[in-house]
Amino acid sequence: MEKAMQSAHGIGYEVYKRKHEIRMQVERRRENDYIQSRRLIADLDRKVHAHL
């Protein structure tokens, strides 16, 4: 878990766990990434189905 947090967000899990503001920043970034990926999937889906 420590390596994943460090590589994905540039902070260690202990810092993430202790500091509320850091945790909120990470969670906002995760939420934005999720929304962007859902939009990308929806766009690709529309393109695929438009050509059928």
Overall average pLDDT of the 41-48 stretch: 95
Model confidence over 3-23: pLDDT tens digits? 999 999 999 999 999 999 999
Cα distance between residue 17 and residue 24, in whole Å? 11
Does position 52 have pLDDT exceeding 90, yes or no?
no
Q: Which of 23, 21, 28, 20 is nearest to 5 (CA)?
A: 23
Q: How many domains would you assign to the chain?
A: 1
Confidence of residue 2 (pLDDT cuts 50, 70, 90): confident
- d(CA 15, CA 18) in angstroms, rounded, equals 5
Mean pLDDT, the chain, rounded, equals 94
User: pTM for the complete prediction?
Assistant: 0.79
Domain hosting residue 22, numbered range = 2-50
